[in-house]
């Protein structure tokens, strides 16, 4: 069984013991990583702080070239990284390879960007310029659903802006990120990229560390609130990409079979473990039964199995805690007789649950109000547009949403009324490195991706020069 050490200051470092990494398809350990300590955190932050002056002064063209080199290296090592990812995360190998392709693309795009200064005034009296300066040490705290991709969502803007970074992967998915660290250690100067691993106990210490200037976090709203509180003493800069309960509104004029497949794909990607996945589908009453039947047919024909097996469409839920949470949702709706398809908890090793379609539910039911983050899609009836918009917007979340109709203008008019950071028409989860991603309400603070996301990793400084 391979053991992966932490990357600190360009060296591979041991901790205070070993942590087993479980394959969710087998419930057996396939690797170990180091159990980090507060001393390891201090060392990682110190290494990043020591590397910051030289890295921040490195010409932007060189920083861009290094990021482009990382993009090419991810592509070269995609299969190795993807296999590690499938073993620790559970997603089918094809989806893991897709994550590598997305990672390569994000890195490649950010390698073309640079922080831009803006001249505000330049006349005979004053030269005034708004500059964007790097912050210093960034802490990047990663989720377990897309660990490699999200790691690079932090690495790319942080390093292009001139910062250095300390990454902390989720305890259940650290291996592929550490393998990515091996690649980073061959490209970047020591201390520019550091990775620590833990048993979910070092996050508060890292986010309160006085030498950390910014925290970039992707994960649950509950954890985001804790990070926001812990960062308050030093007023650290924050980017928080948090939970969602995305609503898909399906109008009465859609092609039901075609739309059903698209909605299924947007709801069950990565076993439903996607912050931007459709978590609740509002379907017009006139097509409700037909849509339930189509989605149920797709669910019943979907292959749920080990992600390394050819032909697998959906893998296991990533960890036991989330598995038990989803089972709890299913117990409630099963008792009410509202499962239209799926819902079986596989009698086998691994955290497998068949993709589940739930019907005849409403607001007030946990399956609708709460983020399931698993292979479950509730369908809710509606008849009135104003009513369904109000119901979709009533959530405390506002990450994404979508509207589906054969009439694009009609759907767009409804989409403009949805309170979420991203709203799609006749599609869902169309994201990219050039497209800003942000959340309304309790779905986040700040912006990820794009030039706007890059600016989040900088500090505004105004240079004001009197010419006479």
Catalytic residue among 241, 294, 448, 456: 241
**Distance between CA 394 and CA 391 in Å, rounded?**
5
**Distance between CA 132 and CA 118 in Å, rounded?**
9
Whether residue 107 contacts residue 77, with contact meaning beta carbons closer than 8 Å, is answered with no
Whether residue 108 contacts residue 71, with contact meaning beta carbons closer than 8 Å, is answered with yes
**Distance between CA 374 and CA 201 in Å, rounded?**
25
CB burial class (10 A; 0-12, 13-18, 19+) of residue 349? middle
Whether residue 341 contacts residue 300, with contact meaning beta carbons closer than 8 Å, is answered with yes
What is the per-residue DSSP string for 347-389? SSSS--B--EEE-S--TTSHHHHS---SSEEEEEEE--HHHHH
Active site residue 152: no
**Distance between CA 422 and CA 439 in Å, rounded?**
8
Catalytic residue among 34, 275, 371, 456: 275
CB burial class (10 A; 0-12, 13-18, 19+) of residue 319? buried
Which of the residues are catalytic? 241, 275
């Amino acid at each position: 069984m391979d053991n992966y050490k932490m990357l600190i200051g360009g060296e591979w470092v041991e901790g205070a013991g070993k942590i087993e990494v479980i394959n969710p398809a087998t419930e057996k350990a396939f690797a170990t990583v180091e159990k980090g300590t507060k001393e390891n955190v201090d060392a990682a932050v110190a290494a990043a702080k020591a590397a910051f002056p030289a890295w921040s002064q490195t010409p932007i063209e060189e920083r861009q070239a290094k990021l482009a080199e990382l993009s090419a290296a991810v592509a070269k090592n995609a299969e190795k990284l993807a296999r590690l990812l499938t073993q620790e995360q559970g997603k089918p190998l094809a989806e893991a390879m897709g994550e590598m392709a997305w990672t390569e693309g994000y890195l490649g795009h950010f390698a073309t960007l640079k922080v831009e200064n803006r001249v505000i005034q330049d006349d005979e009296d004053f030269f005034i310029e708004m500059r964007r300066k790097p912050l210093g040490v960034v802490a990047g705290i990663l989720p377990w659903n897309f660990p490699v991709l999200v790691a690079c969502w932090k690495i790319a803007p942080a390093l292009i802006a001139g910062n250095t970074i300390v990454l902390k992967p989720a305890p259940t998915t650290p291996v592929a990120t550490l393998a990515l660290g091996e690649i980073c250690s061959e490209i970047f100067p020591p201390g520019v990229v550091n990775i620590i691993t833990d048993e979910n106990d070092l996050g508060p210490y890292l986010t309160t560390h006085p030498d950390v200037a910014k925290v970039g976090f992707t994960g649950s709203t509950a954890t985001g609130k804790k990070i926001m509180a812990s960062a308050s003493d030093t007023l650290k800069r924050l980017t928080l990409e948090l939970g969602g309960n995305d609503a898909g509104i399906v109008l009465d004029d859609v092609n039901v079979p075609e739309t059903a497949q698209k909605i299924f794909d947007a709801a069950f990607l990565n076993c439903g473990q996607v912050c931007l996945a459709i978590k609740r589908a509002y379907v017009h009453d006139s097509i409700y039964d037909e849509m339930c039947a189509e989605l149920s047919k797709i669910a019943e024909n979907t292959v749920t199995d080990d992600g390394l097996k050819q032909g697998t469409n959906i893998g296991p839920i990533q960890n036991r805690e989330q598995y038990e949470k989803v089972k709890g949702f299913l117990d409630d709706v099963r008792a009410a007789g509202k499962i239209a398809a799926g819902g079986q908890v596989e009698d086998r090793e691994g955290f497998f649950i068949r993709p589940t379609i739930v019907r005849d539910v409403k607001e007030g039911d946990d399956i609708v109000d709460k983020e399931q983050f698993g292979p479950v899609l509730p369908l809710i009836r509606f008849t009135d547009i104003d009513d369904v918009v109000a119901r979709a917007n009533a959530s405390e979340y506002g990450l994404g949403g979508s509207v589906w109709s054969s009439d694009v203008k009609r759907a767009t008019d409804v989409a403009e009324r949805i309170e979420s950071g991203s709203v799609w028409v006749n599609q869902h989860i169309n994201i990219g490195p050039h497209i800003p991603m942000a959340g309304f309400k309790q779905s986040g603070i700040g912006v990820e991706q794009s030039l706007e996301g890059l600016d989040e990793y900088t500090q505004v400084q105004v240079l004001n020069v009197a010419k006479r």
